[in-house]
Amino acid sequence: MKWLGEGEFNTKFFHKTMIKHRQHNIIFSIKSRDNQWLLQHKEIEEELVSHFKDMLVESIVNRKGSIQRITSRIPHLVNPDENEGLMREICFSKVEEVVMVMLPNKALD
C-alpha cells in the first residue's frame, strides 16, 4: 500500500522492495533429472535449457492421423453443397452489387 502511495520514485522503501523481490526470484539450486542437486549457475542454466527444449519438442511429426481422430468427433454442420458454395472464389462485382442495394445504416438479413 505504501508503494502505491509513494510510487516508484527513488526512495529507500522502493529500493528495499526491489532488493527483496530480486532475492525472492533467484534460483540457488535445482534437482537434475538424475536426482543430483545443481548449485553452479552454469549447471542450473544448462539443466533448465535442456528441460524446456525436451518439453517443447514435438514427438509426432506426422499429425494427419491425430487430426483425423479429433475432427471425426466434430459434428458436420455444413453439407457438401453448402461447403462448395462457401469455398467459391469471391467475386468483387457481386459484393459491390450487394453493398449498393443495402439501405444506409442497415445490415443484410
**Residue pair 35/52 in contact by the 8 Å Cβ criterion:** no
pLDDT at site 76: 85
Residue 35 located in a structural domain: yes
Residue 71 located in a structural domain: no
Mean pLDDT value across the chain: 84
Residue 5 has pLDDT above 70, yes or no: no
pLDDT per residue as tens digits for the range 48-84: 999 999 888 877 778 888 889 999 999 989 999 999 9
Q: Quote the domain boundaries for residue 39.
A: 2-56
pLDDT at site 46: 94
Helices vs strands, H then E, count in the chain: 6, 2
Q: Residue type for 72, please?
A: S
pLDDT at site 9: 63
Quote the number of domains for the chain. Answer: 1
All three cell numbers of 75: 459434428
Residue 67 located in a structural domain: no
pLDDT per residue as tens digits for the range 21-52: 887 788 889 999 999 999 999 999 999 999 99
Residue 18 located in a structural domain: yes
Residue 88 located in a structural domain: no
